[in-house]
Structure 1
Amino acid sequence: MAQRILALEFVGDLVRAAVAERSWNSFILAGVYEKVRADDETDLSGALARLVAEAGQPDIVISALPADSVAKRLLELPFKDGRRLHQVVPFALEEHLPFPVDNGTVAFTRVGRDGDHTLVMAAMVRKTDLQHHLDLLQKAGLDPKIVTLAPLALAAMFTRAQNGAKPMAHLVVEGDESSTSVVLVDLGGTPRAMRSMTGGLMTSDGSVVSQDAAAPILNSVRQTLLAHGEEMDQTEVILAGAAAACPQVRGLLSDSLAMPVRDGGRFDYTGIFEGSVPDTGKYSSCVAMLLGELPSKPLDLINFRQGEFLFRGRVSGDLSPFYTSGILAAALLGVILFHFALGVYANLHRLSQLNAQIAAVAGPVLGQTDPANARAQLKTDIAKMNHRLTLIGGNLTHSPLDTLAAVSQALPPRFPVEMADVQIDSNGLRVTGQADSFTTVAQAKEALGKSGYFGSIEVAHAKAGSDPSKVDFRMDANFKGATPANPRDDADQ
């Protein structure tokens, strides 16, 4: 779900704003707005309420204090620890001010580093001015997350939006009919000087002010450049705010400095915002403040919501309270997935080893075969081999040769019996043949019984054959311990 971010500034009797819509992967400039205080209104709360009604209720609010109500200094401190900076900056700033900071709120932002030294832009606003600013927003139902200094954000935005040109130092002059701010940024993007003045180079109807009214402002701009003269030849001047839309003001500034002046409202911001970005013109400061909420690499804004004025509200759509729980849940999920993957790997490794062992055992017999089918193939091949052995008698308990030898030894030489068919299986011997008499059949049965090789012996049938001098018979002799012949065989008699 996209968040709506509203950036506000108050200029005389005007309220100006820019709105951006932010999602996890996009940042779009949704629109710019301006409302004027009505004649019957005592402050800007009415104009602010009308602006919010038109722009829509925001999820995050950023507002700017008037630059001329803020004292600011560039400080270089011999350490970089964040906690020490918070402790030392108020006292370091106080040394440069003609009044104590006890009744003010101090804020700062790091703007550069040199080894162990830290360069900070420190600023102080009186608590009464900050409270009045917050009360005015509260009347419109707004609680700003950030209260900042717009000119500093504007200079940083122009540093990021280089428009394809090589990096250069630049002097940003922001002005309208009531105030003018000047920020000098060096080649590395570090602010080196910042001034705010009451009065502007243009009137409310867009015309240029008189030479006498313009002289103090132009002299201040010129002095800012001269203070950093080593970079003057490589510095471009950018005019922003309502004055940027007035060609006469740009001409006045260019003639005074003898340098070309660029219109800050016509910069290309497609590298910062997605989609089309119109001429920002007088809304440049508001657009610059939106960069403090970029999805990636947000601009580090000075924020006066410190100490007793600390922002304690809840940002709509902000999921930061759930970040810790989300991180823990993600870590737990990662551990579970790692444990599952480790188990799968272990099982696959074990399966691979088992397949290798199966292949080693079954390979000599089966040759190249799938280990998953080795058991079934072994059973099939064993059954085939048993079948073949059965056919040749190789898998019987009593060898056919041993059985025939036992029969030969049991019957006397030249015994008058002719065996036509001899069958040997796992149970015993079945003999079909002819004898010279029934007595000879009985003697054969008795001889086999005495051999000790057989158990039960039965004469399945004995009858006169086609030859009157012969008797056809069938005799079943079971091996010792074998199951007796199936009684159904008697039906053959």
Structure 2
Amino acid sequence: MAQRILALELGGDRVRAAMAERSWNSFSLTGVYDKVRADDEADLSGALSRLVVEAGQPDIVISALPANLAVKRLLELPFKDARRLHQTVPFALEEHLPFPIDNGTVAFTRVGREGDHTLVMAAMVRKTDLQEHLSLLQKAGLDPKTVTLAPLALAAMFTRAKDGNGAKPMAHLVVEGDESSTSVVLVDLDGTPRALRSMPGGLMMSDGTVVSADAAAPILNSVRQTLLANGEETDQTEVIVAGAAAAYPGVRGLLSNSLAMAVRDGGAFDYSGIFEGTVPDTGKFSSCIAMLLGEMPTEPLALINFRQGEFMFRGRVRGDLSPFYTSGILVAALLAVLIVRFTLGVSANLHRLNQVNAEIAAVAGPELGESDPANAKTQLQMGIAKMNKRINLIGGNLTHSPLDTLVAVSRALPPRFPVQMADVQIDSQGLRVTGQADSFSTVDQAKRALDKSGFFGTIEVAHAKAGSDPSKVDFRMDANFKDAVPSNMRDDEE
């Protein structure tokens, strides 16, 4: 049964979402949604409820926290063991913060390796912010399995998507945002995120127009600093605009003029290698679509998930069989025992069959020689039938022997009787004669003569007709023995 996966992005007064359906071997995007908070609504719970009514109840929910609520750092740790990473990352992240992390929730994901070292993108969000986010979703009856950061998923999606610009490898600088916030992610040539920044404010107004130069300056300076700080060459980096800003060419023009670089729309990538079927314009909803990659049936994207510790997801997912793993293991063990018993039973039966075949070969061998024991009975029956036929030919199994029958016929017919017998057949039922006579009356006389002999019971002339010689009559006569089935009944049975 297919699972419905809903990815949500909450920003300002708007909720954007994307829905996908997943089976064991397919992954398709079924729709994108955009809902705005009404004037009389205190928060986004009403917009969320309307979105769920339109899209349908999901089986799995993924949501994104606003990126400016989280502190992010790229950490390089000198080991690869997952358990040590979980123990070490919170303390390694705390070294980069001016405050303790006791009141926050830390999550991370591996983004690459350098020799024996592991690169992780670690992030921390305050527990109060995470609780407010979960409470808001709960009002709409939603319990997210994953709470993540959309810009990081977005950069990974562009790395996986097919690029129609050519085969030249490029680093990606992904600028994602709307009128309230802007995020920047830099991904190097190897697809490893090197920087993730989030800033309040956007490059566009609520009506889609570009902000003033003074309002845009801090954001544009941050984009330049991100490029310079990570040593990326501009000719090896392409700028991609995603999110709500992707829908407005003015934003792309502003970035292109400020950075003196070509800027691409995130919706121009080919996502056919990720999703089956048609994919709508993904620029505006690219962040939501990117989060869906975390639930792909094969090679899912590793997302940062803040549902850790006291915020651990404890709900049930329809179609998730993990609670039944223990029962499945027990059932598999029972099936294995049954298969072993069945195999042993088959082996014992085969051994007994081999013994029976050997005994059959010993009994039938002198008569049949080397033959298949499975066909010994059939071959013996065929041999017996052949022997019976031979005995019948000499009259051994007949009530009336062929010799006695011929003597009876000879005595019944007068000497020099004008009848020529071409074929005479004698079996257990009687006599069958075909031949020629000089007239139809002669055939009738022969019938009466055989009848008077007392040797036969029913006598019939099966046919009598003029032959090829006009002076002759071709005939066939059937004479049954007294205790035999009449010839007409015999013909019906045949």
* Both structures adopt the same fold (TM-score exceeding 0.5): yes
In structure 1, the residue matched to 2:36 is 36
Secondary structure of 1:107's partner? strand
- The answer to whether the aligner puts 1:241 opposite 2:243 as a matched pair is yes
Identify if the C-alpha distance between structure 1 residues 343 and 298 changes in structure 2 by more than 3 Å, giving closer, same or farther. Answer: same
Report the alpha carbon displacement of residue 340 of structure 1 after superposing the two structures with TM.
Answer: 2.5
Query: TM-score, normalization: structure 1?
Result: 0.73
Q: Deviations over 1:134-163 (max 9, x none)?
A: 111111111111111110011111111123
In structure 2, the residue matched to 1:461 is none
In structure 2, the residue matched to 1:428 is none
CA distance in 1, matches of 2:142, 2:64: 13
CA distance in 1, matches of 2:377, 2:2: 62
In structure 2, the residue matched to 1:479 is none
Amino acid at match of 2:247: A
Residue correspondence of structure 1 range 266-281 to structure 2 within 5 A: 266-281=268-283
Range moving further from structure 2, 311-320 or 47-56: 311-320
- The answer to whether the aligner puts 1:82 opposite 2:82 as a matched pair is yes
CA distance in 1, matches of 2:175, 2:355: 76
CA distance in 1, matches of 2:12, 2:205: 12
- The answer to whether the aligner puts 1:158 opposite 2:166 as a matched pair is no
Residue correspondence of structure 1 range 178-193 to structure 2 within 5 A: 178-193=180-195
Amino acid at match of 1:140: A
In structure 2, the residue matched to 1:5 is 5
Amino acid at match of 1:190: T
Report the alpha carbon displacement of residue 70 of structure 1 after superposing the two structures with TM.
Answer: 0.4
In structure 2, the residue matched to 1:447 is none
What is the number of equivalent residue pairs in this alignment? 387
In structure 1, the residue matched to 2:72 is 72
Q: Deviations over 1:222-279 (max 9, x none)?
A: 1211223355432222110111111111122122222211110232211111111100
Residue correspondence of structure 1 range 288-307 to structure 2 within 5 A: 288-307=290-309
Asked if structure 1 preserves the Cα contact closer than 8 Å seen for 2:162 and 2:273, the reply is: no
- The answer to whether the aligner puts 1:45 opposite 2:34 as a matched pair is no
- Ranges in structure 1 where 5+ consecutive residues have no aligned partner: 389-493
CA distance in 2, matches of 1:33, 1:16: 6
Report the alpha carbon displacement of residue 192 of structure 1 after superposing the two structures with TM.
Answer: 0.8
Residue correspondence of structure 1 range 30-429 to structure 2 within 5 A: 30-163=30-163, 165-166=166-167, 167-341=169-343, 343-345=345-347, 347-348=349-350, 351-352=353-354, 355=357, 359=361, 362-363=364-365, 365-374=367-376
CA distance in 2, matches of 1:376, 1:294: 62
Report the alpha carbon displacement of residue 189 of structure 1 after superposing the two structures with TM.
Answer: 1.6
Q: Deviations over 1:386-441 (max 9, x none)?
A: xx9xxxxxxxxxxxxxxxxxxxxxxxxxxxxxxxxxxxxxxxxxxxxxxxxxxxxx
Asked if structure 2 preserves the Cα contact closer than 8 Å seen for 1:226 and 1:232, the reply is: no
Q: Deviations over 1:337-393 (max 9, x none)?
A: 354345435644664576467547754542232313447867998998xxx9xxxxx
CA distance in 2, matches of 1:15, 1:376: 81
CA distance in 2, matches of 1:161, 1:281: 13
Report the alpha carbon displacement of residue 67 of structure 1 after superposing the two structures with TM.
Answer: 0.4
CA distance in 1, matches of 2:383, 2:50: 93
Asked if structure 2 preserves the Cα contact closer than 8 Å seen for 1:174 and 1:182, the reply is: yes
CA distance in 1, matches of 2:272, 2:332: 34
Asked if structure 1 preserves the Cα contact closer than 8 Å seen for 2:267 and 2:283, the reply is: yes
In structure 1, the residue matched to 2:417 is none
Identify if the C-alpha distance between structure 1 residues 381 and 250 changes in structure 2 by more than 3 Å, giving closer, same or farther. Answer: closer
- Ranges in structure 2 where 5+ consecutive residues have no aligned partner: 392-494
Secondary structure of 1:369's partner? coil
Identify if the C-alpha distance between structure 1 residues 46 and 378 changes in structure 2 by more than 3 Å, giving closer, same or farther. Answer: closer
Identify if the C-alpha distance between structure 1 residues 59 and 375 changes in structure 2 by more than 3 Å, giving closer, same or farther. Answer: closer
CA distance in 2, matches of 1:291, 1:327: 29
Secondary structure of 1:229's partner? coil
CA RMSD of aligned residues (A): 2.6
Amino acid at match of 1:174: E
Secondary structure of 1:330's partner? helix
Look at both structures and tell me which one has the larger radius of gyration over its CA atoms: 1
